[in-house]
Every structure is written in structure tokens, then in C-alpha cells.
Structure 1
Amino acid sequence: MATVKKIEYESGKKTWQVRWREDGKQRMKNFTRAKDANDFKVSIEASQRDGTYVSPSKMLVTEYFEKWLSYKKSSLSDKTYSSYESTTAAMGEVIGKIQLQKLTVTDIESLYNDLRADGLSGTSCNYYHRILKQSLKQALKDRLIQFNPADLAQPIPKDKFKAEIIHPDMVKTFLSYFSGAEIETAVYLSLFLGLRRAEVCGLQWHDINFRTRVITVRRTLHYKEGEYFHLPTKSKQTRQIPFTLGVAKKLKEEIRSQAKFRKHFAESYVKNKYVCVHRNGMQFIPEYVSHSYTNIKGPAFGNIRYHDLRHTAATLMLYHGADIKTVSAILGHSSITITGDIYLHALEDMKRTAIDALDQYMETSDKIVQFKRSV
């Protein structure tokens, strides 16, 4: 039960003090108006009855982020934790000095607008929104806030994504730039099988069955603070991808190339089971693949990122008759909807081509053809 006490000072100033008990301790809060004090008293009593009471706290948003990250660290991969850490740090620069219990929907929407004004994409802003919403959901569970303001905040609309691809007529020209390069095999695996760069780096020779011409994608390879480590694929699932005779030829060339350099480097050659390696046998890391790719690709392909090789593979498969479910399985998407959203432009072009093909059944001249009805 809370009480309201009126306090009058010699100066004539009046204060209404609300007192209540919390966890066996006396709490109090002063108001300059009787109405505000009585409203607060009713609110305190109601929240204590229905179990929604939140103890007043001056904890700042940035302090809560630190607490939340500490709580989440054991359940996150190093890569994900690093992403969460940098994301909360960026948000903390704008809303970090606000008291957690005073954080409003307006504060959050202003944060998103500021991030957008600084050049952050709509997709990245939505990622920030998901992290903030998730962190405040935990604060709500811990009775640190009475409601989650991120639930009501309007996120920035996602940017409409259109994958950049290599035109089919330019594929051979594109490949010519990588002839003899260390990453040539890696480029083939991404361009013709749709493998992500970390999947390419994690691929081992025992994952390849030359008899059935099937590659099994089991893991990704990463490097941080001087150590290599494996993680599951992005979808957390193993997938099998058939490969062409052309890819088989390139993989066998890689075997012969590695044998040549193993002989050249002799005892200093690093022996391992990875498919994509440096001349001395040391396995690739994803960052090296991207960096090397950027330095080698020709000027005509300036806008094509390494990840766009995966988009090119998917688009080429769709154009050559593969159904979207098959392409989704090859790419390792967790949902066929994701595949449809990313490659909507290719699917729309295919629909147009299919419809245009029906013109062959129509009279192209202005003359109307009369058909006799058979009885």
C-alpha cells in the first residue's frame, strides 16, 4: 500500500511525497502537484497487485547494453558477438546516455533516422532494430522496464535488393582474369555452385565425390586473433551439390597444381585437407579471398563483388530452367521465400520470356483469321 504525504516548507513551497515499500525497503518520490502524486500512487499499487511493478532505476542504455552483451556472450559465436558489440556501440553513441526506463519510441525512431542520415542502408537499420528489440525484450523479462518501446517503433523500410550478376556472354571473359591465380578454383566454386566464400575456404577434399560428382558442404572456415576455426553453414545444415564435368576438370587441375607446389616447397609445405590453399599449402581465409578477388577482377566487372558470383550462379540456374526450390536447396537458403525475394527480378524476366514465347501461336498481321466451327 502506498501513501501520499503533503509537505509544506517555511518558504511556502509545497511537495507531495509518495511512499511505498519494495522488497522490504521504504521508497519515496516527490511531486510538485497533488494530482501527479496521486496518479503515481494508483499506478504503484496497481502494478504491485498485478505483478508488473518495475523498480525505479537510473541505469543508462549503454550500461544495460554492456550487461546484456555479457549475458548473451556464452550463447553467441565470436562472429555474431562481435557484430552485436559493434551494433550496440553504434546505437549507444546516440541513445546511450538516456536512462533505460526513460527510453521512448520517439528516441528510437530518431536513432534510426540519424543512422539513415549517416548513410546506413535500410537493411542495416533493420538489423539494428532487431538487435535493439531483442535486448529490450530481455530488459522487460528482467523487470527493468514496463514495456518494450522498440515493439512500437517504426523500423526503416528495407532497401530493395537487386543482385549484381555477370552477364552470361561475359562469363568466359571474366574467368580469363583468374586463370592461374591462387583463387581460381575458389572463383569456380562460387560462380558455378553458389558457395559462400567461408564455405569455399572450409571445403576439404573428402567432401568431394568425383564418382558421383557431388560436393557436400559441411562447414565454414574463419580466422580470428591468430586462430583458424570452423562454424556450421549459415543455415546450420549440411547440403549436397552436384557439379559439372567442367568443375570436375578444374578441381583435378587444382590437385595437380597442389602436388607441383608440394614438391617445390618440400618440407616447408603445409599439409592439410583443404581444397583452396595458398601456393605453400596454407588454407585460405574468407578475407583473403575477397581481397585477392578485388585486386584481380577486370575493370569491366568493377561493381561485381565476390558474393555476387553466388548470385550469378543462382540466376544462371534459373535462366536455364532450374526450378526455384532446387536453386534454394543448392544455395542453402533456410526458406524458399528468401530465394524468391532475392531473385525476383530473374523470375519476373523468366515469366516475360515464357509469355512472349506464346506469340508464335498468334496471327501477327492485322487480318483476323476465321475458324470454321466443326459440328
Structure 2
Amino acid sequence: MLKWLAMMRYKVEFITFASYHNVVVNHINPYFENLGLHLKELLPSHLQDYYQYELDENGVTTNTVIHYHANIHTALKYALKNNLININPADIVEGPKKIEFVGSFYNNEEINLLFNKVKGQLIELAVILASFYGLRRSEIIGLKWTAIDFINKTISIKHTVTPVYFEGHEHIVEKDRAKNKPSRRTLPLVPTFEDLLKRILEQQKLNKVICGDSYCTQYEQYIYLDKMGQRVKPGYVTQNFTSTLKKHSFRHIRFQDLRHSCAILLLANGVSKKEVQEWLGHSNYNTTANTYSHLEYKSKVSAAKTMDGVLNFLN
């Protein structure tokens, strides 16, 4: 797999390559090196044993094993194309079935209470953007002032800042485009959030004056900064959100679950899945439909009332 990995370094973006590298170097390669197999000796049963090993011994999820399988399959496909093997054993092996993700979420009362607790705190902006606009962490950190149109009252999601872990070090990857076309979206700038942004802008100007030469000017184009002008780190958002919930005795959810909360509140109030897809920037409609199919309770209630009016089985 190392030959395939070396080839992929120049074919995919750094974020994608780093993901491949971490999986191959830290998980897949060590296991098969210990077996002492030559590539042509690899059988579907060896792959099956590996997947079971990851599930039983390392306690990874089935979705993680599916991710490993995808990497192995692609690498072996490369080997087959280059006549290094006669068949691709990953074509034959039966991988685990994907488990559909069901995230936790807060209802509107919990979110409003959370808003109250984080008001004036550095984490406030992240909480609002995730729960109201449904932004991803990378989109929150990457939000720039150029994305805010105070005249036409819009906010454009097109910049991202993502941490990537590669060879034991964290790399911060900045992009002036979202990960795909649907992620690049323009949303209405509501008055309450517009007021908050204007207060943030004035505070940044004041901080720059107060701090003088100590103020960092490297990230002035970004919105989410601390008092010294440093861009807020992605890890801070995750860690501080968790500690905030614990401090105020909130029910534990992950930071990204605020994004799910946003979708659920939209759906619960009659917004269509297509509109939710566009609001969240999902790559396709199926992602939204599959993720939130279990939430169509209102339509089920309507159907139940209809059937109850038609079929009088208790009479």
C-alpha cells in the first residue's frame, strides 16, 4: 500500500492524503507487515480477519472499518492495474454494513438556555453559527468579513479552516472555498446576527487600539478572533464547548450536534428537506433525507389521522 500512498500524494489534496496516510501507516500497514504476507498471497479471508481484528481488538466502529476497506480496495485496484496482483481480493470480501448515524440534539428551549449561558463569551459566536445557521466548525473558523454583505443582508459560506494531523503534527489548512459546490452557499443575514457582527467588529477595532503592537494583524480578515487578534483554534471550539456544557450542567452533546439541532428544528417547523439540504450545505439531497428520515413525525401523524378516519376497525 505504500506505493499507492506515495502515488496518491500528488493526486489528491493534502487533507485527503493526510487521511490516507494516517490510516495506512498507523493501522493497515502494521497489521499486514506482522503477517509476513507477500502481496500476491493476500486472500479475501486475510482482509476479513483484519476487519474483525479492528472491530474486536481496537474497538473501532463499523463505519471506520468501511473507511479502511475503501482505502485497501483503492490500493489493491492500483496494484491490479499495474499487474502486481491477478485479482483484487477486496472485490470479494464482505465488509461490515454501514450504520446510519443518529446524532444527539438540543430542542429550542435547551438552545435558548445555552445562548443565555454563553452570551459575551468567546464560544458564543461558534454556538450561534452552528445552531442557527448550521455551520460546520471549519466554516465557523474560516468565516471572513468579506463574506458578510451588510447592504444586501447576506452571509456567504465559502472559506474554511481545518486542522489536519500528519506525521505527529497538526497542520492548519486554510481554503477560500468550501469542500464542494453545495457547501458554498449564501444565507440571509438576520438582524440579530447582523447586530452581533457589528459589535464584534467594533470590539476588534477597540482591541487593536488597546493592545497596540501586541495585537496580531495576521488574521484581520477573519471574524472569529480572540482579544489579541489571534484566530480562534478549531480545537478550542470543541474543548470549550464541552467544558461549558459541563460547567452549567447541560446534557452532553458534541459541538457538531448543534448542526443537527439546527436541522431538526427546521424540519420540526415545516421546512422541507430540500430547503434544509441547501441551508446546511449537504452535498446531495440523499444525505439530508437519509440522516433525518426518522424525524418525519408530523407527516406520520397526518397519515395516522387519515387512516383513522378511513378505517374504523374499533366499530
Q: Does TM, normalized by the shorter one, top 0.5?
A: yes
Deviation, 1:212, is 2.9
**Structure 1: any 5+ residue segments left out of the alignment?**
1-64, 369-375
Sort the Cα spacing of 1:229 and 1:85 in 2 relative to 1 into closer, same or farther, 3 A: closer
Deviation, 1:346, is 1.6
Aligned-residue CA RMSD (Å): 2.4
Query: In the TM superposition, what are the counterparts of 1:52-201 in structure 2 within 5 Å?
Result: 65-89=1-25, 90-96=27-33, 97-117=36-56, 118-201=58-141
Q: Distance in 2 between matches of 1:330 and 1:93?
A: 42
Q: Deviations over 1:325-364 (max 9, x none)?
A: 11111211111001111112222x2322433565997999
**What is the number of equivalent residue pairs in this alignment?**
301
Give the conservation status (yes or no) of the 8 Å contact 1:183–1:276: no
Number of the residue aligned with 2:261: 312
Poorly superposed stretches of 4+, deviation over 4 Å: 223-228, 356-364
Q: Deviations over 1:122-158 (max 9, x none)?
A: 1111111111111111001111001111011111112
Give the conservation status (yes or no) of the 8 Å contact 1:222–1:285: no
Q: Distance in 2 between matches of 1:216 and 1:282?
A: 22
Q: Which sits farther off after the overlay, 247-256 or 95-104?
A: 247-256
Identity of aligned residues (%): 26
Determine which of 218, 227, 230 is the counterpart of 1:282: 230
Deviation, 1:230, is 1.7
Q: Which sits farther off after the overlay, 182-191 or 289-298?
A: 289-298
Give the alignment's TM-score, normalised by structure 1. Answer: 0.74
The answer to whether 1:352 aligns with 2:300 is: yes
Give the conservation status (yes or no) of the 8 Å contact 2:143–2:160: yes
Q: Which sits farther off after the overlay, 92-101 or 144-153?
A: 92-101
Higher relative contact order (CA closer than 8 Å, sequence separation 6+)? 2
Number of the residue aligned with 1:296: 244
Q: Distance in 2 between matches of 1:363 and 1:70?
A: 65
Q: Which has the larger radius of gyration?
A: 1
Number of the residue aligned with 1:222: 162
1:221 aligned counterpart, secondary structure: strand
Q: Distance in 2 between matches of 1:294 and 1:208?
A: 29
- Read off the aligned partner of 1:75 and give its amino acid letter: K
Q: Which sits farther off after the overlay, 173-182 or 113-122?
A: 173-182
Sort the Cα spacing of 1:243 and 1:314 in 2 relative to 1 into closer, same or farther, 3 A: farther
Give the conservation status (yes or no) of the 8 Å contact 1:221–1:285: no
Give the conservation status (yes or no) of the 8 Å contact 1:183–1:289: yes
**Structure 2: any 5+ residue segments left out of the alignment?**
none
Number of the residue aligned with 1:321: 270
Give the alignment's TM-score, normalised by structure 2. Answer: 0.87
